[in-house]
A = this chain, B = another copy of it.
Amino acid sequence: MTEQKVEAVERALLILEAFQEGEEELPLSTLALKTGLYKSTILRLCASLERFGYLRRGENGSFRLGPTLWRLGSLYRRSFDLGEQIRPELRRLVEATQETASFYVREGEERICLYRLNSPRAVRHHLDEGARLPLHSGAAGRVLLAFDGAQDEISQTIRGQGFGITRGDRDPEIAAAAVPVLDNRGRLRGALSVSALLNRFDSAAEKRALDALQESAERLRGALSRD
Measured CB to CB, the residues of A under 8 A from B are 3-6, 8-10, 12-13, 16-17, 19-21, 24, 43-45, 47-49, 51-52, 54, 56, 64-67, 69-79, 81, 84, 87, 107-108, 110, 112, 114, 118, 128-132
Contact = CB atoms under 8 A, between A and B. Distances in A.
B114 A70 contact: yes
A5 B130 CA distance: 29
A65 B45 contact: no
Given A19-B72, A74-B129, 17 more contacts: A5-B44, A6-B12, A6-B44, A8-B9, A9-B12, A10-B51, A16-B72, A17-B52, A19-B75, A20-B75, A56-B107, A65-B72, A69-B75, A70-B77, A71-B112, A71-B131, A73-B130
Contacts of A112: 67, 70-71
B44 A4 contact: yes
Nearest to A80: B24
A214 B69 CA distance: 30
A107 B67 contact: yes
A207 B190 CA distance: 41
5 closest A-B pairs by beta carbon, nearest first, are: A73-B73, A74-B130, A71-B130, A4-B47, A65-B76
Nearest to A129: B74
Given A3-B47, A10-B48, A12-B6, A79 B24 contact: yes
Contacts of A9: 8-9, 12, 45, 48-49
Contacts of A64: 79
12 contacts: A5-B47, A9-B45, A9-B48, A10-B51, A10-B52, A13-B48, A16-B72, A24-B81, A65-B75, A67-B112, A72-B73, A72-B130
A118 B74 CA distance: 15
Contacts of A72: 16, 19, 65, 69, 73, 130
B65 A79 contact: yes
Nearest to A79: B24
Contacts of A76: 65-67, 69-70, 73
Contacts of A71: 73, 112, 130-132
